[in-house]
Amino acid sequence: MRLTDNEKRDAIKLIQEGKALPDRYRFLLFDQDREVELVWNGKTNRVENTVLPFQTIEHIDEPRSEEVKKNQMTMFDDSGRQISGWTNKLIWGDNKFILSSLKNGPLRQQIEEAGGLKLIYIDPPFDVGADFSMKVEIGGEEFTKKPSVIEEIAYRDTWGQGADSFIAMIYERLRLMHDLLADDGSIYVHCDWRLSCHLRLVLDEIFGSNNFQNEIIWRKGSFFGPSNKLRQFPKNHDTIFYYSKSDNRIFELPREEYKEATLKQYKYKDERGKYRLQELRDYSNTSIEKFKVEGLIETTTSGLKLKQYLDDKSGKVVETVWNDINRLTNIRYPTEKPEKLLERIILASTSENDLVADFFVGSGTTLAVAEKLNRKWIGSDLGRFGIHTTRKRMIGVQRELKESGKDYRAFEILNISRYEREHYIGVNENLSEEEQEQVRKRKENEFIHLILSAYKAEAVDSFNNFVGKKQDRLVAVGPVNTPVTSSFVSRIVKECLDKGISKADVLGFEYEMGIKFEETKKQGIDLRFRVIPNEVFDKKAVERGHIKFHDVAYLEATPIVKGRGNMKTLAIELSDFGVFYTQDDIPAIEESLRNGSSKIILDSGQVVKITKDKETEIIEREVLTQKWTDWIDYWSVDFDYESRKEFIRAPKTNDGNLLEKGKEQSLFEFEQVWTGSYIFENEWQSFRTKKDRDIELVSAEKEVPTGRRKVAVKVVDIFGNDTTKIIEVNV
């Protein structure tokens, strides 16, 4: 310790007064291994180590669309086939807990058996002013879907304190990615001018400056903005940082195709077969003198010639400025990147059959390119809409590969959620555990009080899972920062059965994928699932009584059985579907609407165009959703729902018992446990695309044996929310 007596006295005084020490004390009190370090408010070396189970929601092993093949396969089938072994994984949830569970949980063993994770590409939300609303086409118009509360909370946690909170968010995730990456793996981090300097220092700290390989400049194309209004140079590039985990990395230098003009220029071939620039006579005397000085001229029997050769006829070596890949103009997702960009990265840093990951998957570009290049993949995203967009895209890639005779891999959609309510949002991690628990409890009580007040229910405290009562119905409230899970619903059903409760409401901002809502009715319980609107946090809307809690969607499906004998054909017709979404405070919108303007809003399951007349100020409403099929974006069928049980691998102790909460666990000590549910096997699907807005309402036929069976039908609406119904069919 290198402190003078005065410095010691001043430090003691500041500590006694509860004040922070000046920054210089950090260097006086502690040895520093790094000459340069990025420091931010609340920096900590704490990394999430929670292991949560992954629930398999859907398995897609064959991209059937037009027909479901019969059991016998033709001998001359020349279409692409499913590759056995590794199953690709698309995971919905917070990537901090996904990364922690991949790193420390049972899937880590599968990753290692698949050769290890060789490449990570991420394009995190680096735009502090980004609008994460989604444009949705419906009824011939384009409607803006607001982010869910969970997405808004994630955005607030990322940007609530500006760069400090973003760096804290990405720092912890990058540390988990570093641990998960194979020793010969690489990471590419995409960013722009806002945070590139910060990210470079974070990556240096985690991966080591000696493992920094390149700073790639991606020039996205020409600038087309109003240059006469700018007071700075136009921004037209992003930065991609390329780091390896060690010196032993996979890398093959990519080449860029030569432009036709370049190839025409290098048209002379010498006796060695190498292509050379034009004859010397095509150059000016000034250029000839310059070439002489540079030693680029050779003397031959035919006179002076240039020694400049084309490096490789197959392409020019790609350098760190990439100006041959333009940005996309017709995008399906706000942050979507060109496939050519990801193709270059994947080809440079992986080999065929290697495992690639993207933990901010967006619209799935990384996964689509990986699949086309015969790589395995893992992708995750917090946004439900992004997961659904990627699901459709990957089925499209499967179909494309299959049709062209190329093999493809199956993929599965997984859930991961925070099951413990004590991990409530907004707790200062610098507090003691006891203080954190007190803050969590207070915030949770405030949240529940807010929801019950908006729902016009009174509080109750004599139940395990129910917190309120409205008329003759008890009320359960899901967490604010995570979806309502199937395990939460199971606890509610159990309490209803144990205590003879016949009517109850479950309120949640979002519901886990794959919950079978109608299954609870078979227990003899009138359980109603309702969605909490984002406007519940708007004090004025609550006071005005404008808050509407809408029911989750419902669907009706009809089986179509044909044939005689022991084998018949089964098809499913989608006969009805309904949603009740409300997203806007209509009176407030009508009040703020300017004369002669219009706005498209969402009210009680209808998309409505509100227009205020320029002269009379009269408000007119036009309903754009003409039929129930307008809400359907995707639907699929599992013709034999109970054919595959869902198992999770739960941690256990050495004596074989399941691990108690909070106890330390060792890697790979897990036990197979049946969840009591089944995996949805996606055997047929129909969905809308940008090019084709039509959707089939009757599935293809499948040959099945006679007898009773359960069929699962899944519908995903235009917002990415899914509804699953199980129907019993007697074939």
Residue 646's pLDDT is what?
Answer: 81
Mean pLDDT computed over 179-192? 96
Question: How far is the C-alpha of 446 from the C-alpha of 440, rounded, in Å?
Answer: 10
The residue ranking higher by pLDDT, 382 or 112, is 112
| Residue 252 amino acid letter | E
Q: Give the pLDDT band of residue 128 (cuts 50, 70, 90).
A: low
Q: What are the tens digits of pLDDT across the range 579-626?
A: 887 777 777 788 888 898 888 888 777 888 899 988 888 898 888 887
Q: Does the structure show a pLDDT above 80 at 125?
A: yes
Q: Pick from 373, 371, 378, 354: which is nearest to 409 by CA? A: 371
- The proportion of the chain whose per-residue pLDDT surpasses 90, expressed as a percent, equals 37
Q: What are the tens digits of pLDDT across the range 357-394?
A: 999 998 999 999 999 999 999 999 988 888 999 999 99
Residue 292's pLDDT is what?
Answer: 73
Mutual orientation of helices 95-104 and 163-180 as an angle, nearest 10°? 20
Question: How far is the C-alpha of 646 from the C-alpha of 679, rounded, in Å?
Answer: 5
Give the three-class secondary structure for 316: strand
- Helix (H) / strand (E) element for 118: namely strand 117-122
Token look-up 């496939």 returns 339
Q: What are the tens digits of pLDDT across the range 670-708?
A: 677 787 778 999 999 999 988 888 999 999 999 999 999
Q: In whole angstroms, what separates CA 106 from the centre of its chain?
A: 21
HEC per residue, 289-348: HHHHHCCCEEEECCEEEECCECCCCCCEECCCEECCCCCCCCCCCCCCCCHHHHHHHHHH
Dihedral angle computed from the Cα positions of residues 358, 114, 376 and 483, in that order, rounded to the nearest 10 degrees: -50
- The proportion of the chain whose per-residue pLDDT surpasses 70, expressed as a percent, equals 80
Domain residue spans in the chain? Answer: 1-32, 55-254+318-415, 260-306, 438-478+483-532, 550-636+696-731
Residue 464's pLDDT is what?
Answer: 92
Q: Lowest mean pLDDT of 68-77, 299-308, 685-694, 721-730, name the range.
A: 68-77
What's the pTM?
A: 0.79
CB atoms within 10 A of CB 596: 11
685: exposed, middle or buried (Cβ count in 10 Å: 0-12, 13-18, 19+): buried
485 DSSP assignment: P
Structure tokens at 430: 């610098």
Structure tokens at 316: 């020019």
Residue 284's pLDDT is what?
Answer: 75
Q: Which string of DSSP letters, residue by residue, matches 540-605?
A: HHHHHT----EEPPEEEEEEEEE--SSEEEEEEEEEEEE-------HHHHHHHPPTT-EEEEEETT
Q: Does the structure show a pLDDT above 90 at 201?
A: yes
Residue 711's pLDDT is what?
Answer: 95
CB atoms within 10 A of CB 529: 20
Q: Does the structure show a pLDDT above 80 at 556?
A: yes
Q: What are the tens digits of pLDDT across the range 309-356?
A: 566 656 778 999 998 898 887 676 667 899 999 999 999 999 999 999
Q: Does the structure show a pLDDT above 90 at 554?
A: no
Q: Within a 13 Å sphere around the CA of 114, how many CA atoms are in the beta-carbon half?
A: 27
Q: What are the tens digits of pLDDT across the range 457-486?
A: 999 988 999 999 999 999 999 887 778 888
Mean pLDDT computed over 439-455? 85
> What's the CATH architecture for 55-254+318-415?
3-Layer(aba) Sandwich (3.40)
Q: Give the pLDDT band of residue 665 (cuts 50, 70, 90).
A: very low
Q: Give the pLDDT band of residue 429 (cuts 50, 70, 90).
A: low
- Helix (H) / strand (E) element for 150: namely helix 149-159
Mean pLDDT computed over 162-175? 87
Q: Does the structure show a pLDDT above 90 at 271?
A: no
Q: What are the tens digits of pLDDT across the range 509-537?
A: 888 877 878 777 778 899 999 988 877 77
Mutual orientation of helices 384-403 and 365-372 as an angle, nearest 10°? 20
Q: In whole angstroms, what separates CA 712 from the centre of its chain?
A: 25
Structure tokens at 125: 């939300």
CA angle, 283 then 286 then 290, to 5°: 95
| Residue 695 amino acid letter | I
CA angle, 413 then 415 then 418, to 5°: 165
| Residue 608 amino acid letter | V
Q: Give the pLDDT band of residue 257 (cuts 50, 70, 90).
A: confident
Structure tokens at 200: 């470079």
Q: In whole angstroms, what separates CA 145 from the centre of its chain?
A: 17
HEC per residue, 265-299: HCCEECCCCCEECCCHHHCCHHHHHHHHHCCCEEE
Which residues, in sequence order, are CB contacts of 53 under 8 Å at separation 6+?
Answer: 101, 105, 416, 648, 649, 650
Structure tokens at 245: 């985990």
Q: Within a 13 Å sphere around the CA of 141, how many CA atoms are in the beta-carbon half?
A: 19
Question: How far is the C-alpha of 489 from the C-alpha of 675, rounded, in Å?
Answer: 13
Residue 419's pLDDT is what?
Answer: 41
Structure tokens at 19: 């004040």
Q: What are the tens digits of pLDDT across the range 449-464?
A: 889 988 999 999 889 9
